[in-house]
Structure 1
């Protein structure tokens, strides 16, 4: 992890338009901050997808064409705290479905906490946690030719540009068999008045989440970022349908990263892009999966039509 972290930070801060991968938000502090974000009044995403999982659980099970008599593997990519998935797990367990739950996450801390929670809340559910790269883990599971349901929730697909998302879903398909399902969470395109506050809450938790990325670089790579010299700045227009978060340098400054043996110069107003969050509609989803081995079989939306769970079937 440290070697890849160093490489990604070097590449990102050396680029003409500086950027850092959003996956590095999630250390122990970042995990805790994101859980807090998910409960903020401005952060509609979790509530909207939770609405689907709470009120349409039967619909999800029917759309996935699950049978109580047929074993399957339920694999969640980026499981986090499993808040929404627990609703589905509870009903599957209650009705005697035969499955193993494989939470996959880059954060060992998040996996350990989720495992402990599930042992307490749903002791009858078999949990096999997997820490690491999604595709390496899926490749290792592909050899077991059992039906698979992949969960990729929270509109995490939105952190990828469309062409990268297409490749990602294609790669998912290459690790699955015909008939396997992908439940894809997608935040729908909405006005800026709804979207922007979700990335710039009144309590400043989202800003702290963004700043924590620099704190992590300081701690793990020996950098000397002065957090006070940067400002959190989100941007979004409904026409583009893409929310972006930046850290903006408030002064001309130089940052030294000891483990890279390199210094990086920042001009006043220069930005580091830390997160991209794409918003979707049916047209965008069809375009993204057009070059993959998936087809849309069902779509479930929340009561406000803020969010959708698309169920894709591997052909």
Structure 2
């Protein structure tokens, strides 16, 4: 069994490197350079993001965790879960499962009949999550799947078992609105009647609250962004000089979209060995690393307009920084 698992992980890693090569080449060849935020999450990136989640400035995780910690029974009621009926609890982008563990404990204590299926692009995060749950909630059945969100859609369509999809942490906000609408539409078409989605979104707020969450005083978020350059250096034989880039976030409440950039502080050339290609940077040229869309009901309803979903319930934290929506098929 170990040999099979090792082979699967090696194949997965090889595929990931190929995807990384293609995505980096495409992103850095754009007129406005970009790098995909999904590659933040290697072993170092996972650890840095755990640090970010506990920073005083980073309200996002804290607000949603409050919802799960104080309103788990309300979540179960809103999802209309019944201990007598089996369902699969599938979490897209599970990470360390911090918030979900609150719900899993309530479901376990209530003798609900379910399998927990966390999906994440980081095998390291999945391994840590599985190990932690086996220790703390050994009666919970866990079946991990490594991959990104879009990769699981076909398998969902083929699976006819009752499902609850968790898409938390405002992960949908890392997509622009067109991509988010396309993803949610494909997700709705992959589900069956009575399947549900529990969607977590960050709400639009003043820049004085939002900007520090992406530019903390300890520089952890900057290190998190710069670590992607370290990963590219290591995995793709590149020569990014981290000292020649600085982290710079931007946000306007009127736009409702936070953007994280790495900015070249000098005119420079970066060579990526596995691509056998150099990329030129002007002084002050930006690489868009991540977008973090903030929402209200109007924006979310626009994204849902061409899908089979309708909003059934909205649950917020005490400060109304964050909201979790129950989406049901029309």
* Structure-1-length-normalised TM-score: 0.99
Q: How does 1:1-315 map to 2 (within 5 A)?
A: 1-315=16-330
- Distance between the aligned counterparts of 1:314 and 1:82, measured in 2? 26
Shift in Å, 1:141:
4.0
Asked whether the equivalents of residues 93 and 148 of structure 2 are also in contact (C-alpha less than 8 Å), the reply is no
- Distance between the aligned counterparts of 2:29 and 2:324, measured in 1? 37
Q: 1:37-89: per-residue Cα shift (whole Å, max 9, x none)? A: 00000000001001100111111000001001000000000000000000000
Gaps of at least 5 residues in structure 1 are none
Q: 1:212-255: per-residue Cα shift (whole Å, max 9, x none)? A: 01000000000000000001000001010000000000001000
- Distance between the aligned counterparts of 2:150 and 2:268, measured in 1? 39
Shift in Å, 1:277:
0.3
- Distance between the aligned counterparts of 1:116 and 1:138, measured in 2? 26
Shift in Å, 1:142:
3.4
Q: Secondary structure at the match of 1:296?
A: strand
Shift in Å, 1:179:
1.3
Q: Secondary structure at the match of 2:323?
A: strand
Gaps of at least 5 residues in structure 2 are 1-15
Shift in Å, 1:108:
0.4
Q: Secondary structure at the match of 1:203?
A: coil
Change (3 A) 1:132 1:304: same
- Distance between the aligned counterparts of 2:39 and 2:161, measured in 1? 32
Asked whether the equivalents of residues 77 and 152 of structure 1 are also in contact (C-alpha less than 8 Å), the reply is yes
Q: Aligned Cα RMSD in Å?
A: 0.8
* Structure-2-length-normalised TM-score: 0.94
Q: 1:84-112: per-residue Cα shift (whole Å, max 9, x none)? A: 00000000000000000000001100000
Shift in Å, 1:146:
1.5
Shift in Å, 1:147:
1.0
Change (3 A) 1:274 1:135: closer
Q: 1:265-305: per-residue Cα shift (whole Å, max 9, x none)? A: 10100000000000000100111101101000000000000
Asked whether the equivalents of residues 153 and 186 of structure 2 are also in contact (C-alpha less than 8 Å), the reply is no
Asked whether the equivalents of residues 135 and 175 of structure 1 are also in contact (C-alpha less than 8 Å), the reply is no
Q: Secondary structure at the match of 1:223?
A: coil
Return 65-74 or 133-142, whichever deviates more.
133-142
